[in-house]
């Protein structure tokens, strides 16, 4: 039988794996994670920060993203204006401006602190436009998602005691009644040179 932290890790791994699959995330894309370790532990967001719960969630999510080449972007709490902790290489690849701050459990949150401690070359940026995200415990990650965000319910509904809500993004539909949104490959020969 799994202990509570092993179960949190297993649930986090299950959720992020399903999100990657259903959102069709690709190597090099960004996934934002907001995580209230307080809510995971069964407490009130912002009041019961838990480093062990944050570590358990990180153990479930980070290896899967690393294996698939998807950049983990961790949202800090409101005390750091919801800044993002991510690897320097990903921040530079997307042209994000790096800011000077280091998260702590009570200023940034336990999950951001754990991510910072375990990343190879972590940096903070103020904002990103992620391809998908997972909100663990009501952290409100929407400000860091690309438009248009599409809500996604997973088979895993909770991590620890925290409810989760996921989203992926898609390009905006533009045009009018004559617009098409998928290429008709059966007509390709008509247009080739």
Q: How far apart are CA 72 and CA 33, in angstroms?
A: 7
Distance of CA 52 to the CA centre of its chain: 19
- Under 8 Å between Cβ of 98 and 89: no
pLDDT digits (tens, 9 = 90+) for 84-129: 999 999 999 999 999 999 999 999 999 999 999 999 999 999 999 9
User: How confident is residue 176, by pLDDT bands cut at 50, 70 and 90?
Assistant: confident
pLDDT for the residue 183: 87
Residue range 12-23, pLDDT digits in tens: 999 999 999 999
pLDDT-based confidence at residue 179 (cuts at 50, 70, 90): confident
> What does the pLDDT read at residue 46?
84
Question: Residue 145 has what pLDDT?
Answer: 97
CB count, 10 Å around CB of 135?
A: 22
Q: What is the pLDDT of residues 21-72, one digit of tens each?
A: 999 999 999 999 999 999 999 998 989 899 999 999 999 999 999 999 999 9
**Quick one: pLDDT at residue 178?**
84
What are the two backbone dihedrals, phi and then psi, of residue 172, each rounded to the nearest 5 degrees?
A: -65, 140
How far is the C-alpha of 43 from the C-alpha of 55, rounded, in Å?
16
CATH class in words for 4-191:
alpha beta
Q: With cut-offs at 50, 70 and 90, classify the pLDDT of residue 1.
A: low
Mean pLDDT of the chain: 95
pLDDT for position 77: 93
Q: What is the pLDDT of residue 100?
A: 96
- 61/38 Cα distance (integer angstroms): 18
pLDDT greater than 90 at residue 187:
no
Q: How confident is the model at residue 190 (pLDDT cuts 50, 70, 90)?
A: confident
For residues 149-177, give the mean pLDDT: 94
């Amino acid at each position: 039988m799994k202990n509570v932290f092993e179960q949190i890790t297993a649930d986090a791994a299950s959720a992020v794996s399903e999100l990657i699959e259903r959102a069709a995330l690709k190597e090099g894309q960004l996934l934002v994670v907001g995580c209230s370790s307080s809510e995971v532990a069964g407490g009130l967001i912002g009041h019961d920060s838990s480093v062990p719960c944050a570590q358990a969630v990180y153990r479930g999510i980070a290896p899967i993203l690393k294996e698939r080449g998807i950049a983990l972007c961790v949202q800090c709490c409101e005390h750091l204006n919801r800044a993002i902790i991510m690897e320097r290489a990903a921040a530079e690849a997307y042209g994000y401006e790096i800011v000077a701050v280091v998260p702590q459990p009570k200023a940034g949150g336990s999950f951001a602190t754990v991510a910072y401690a375990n990343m190879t070359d972590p940096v903070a940026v103020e904002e990103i436009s992620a391809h998908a995200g997972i909100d663990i415990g009501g952290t409100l990650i929407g400000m860091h998602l690309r438009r248009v965000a599409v809500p996604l319910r997973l088979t895993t509904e909770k991590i620890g005691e925290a409810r989760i809500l996921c989203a992926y993004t898609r390009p905006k539909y533009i045009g009018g009644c004559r617009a098409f949104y998928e290429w008709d490959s059966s007509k390709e020969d008509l247009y080739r040179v």
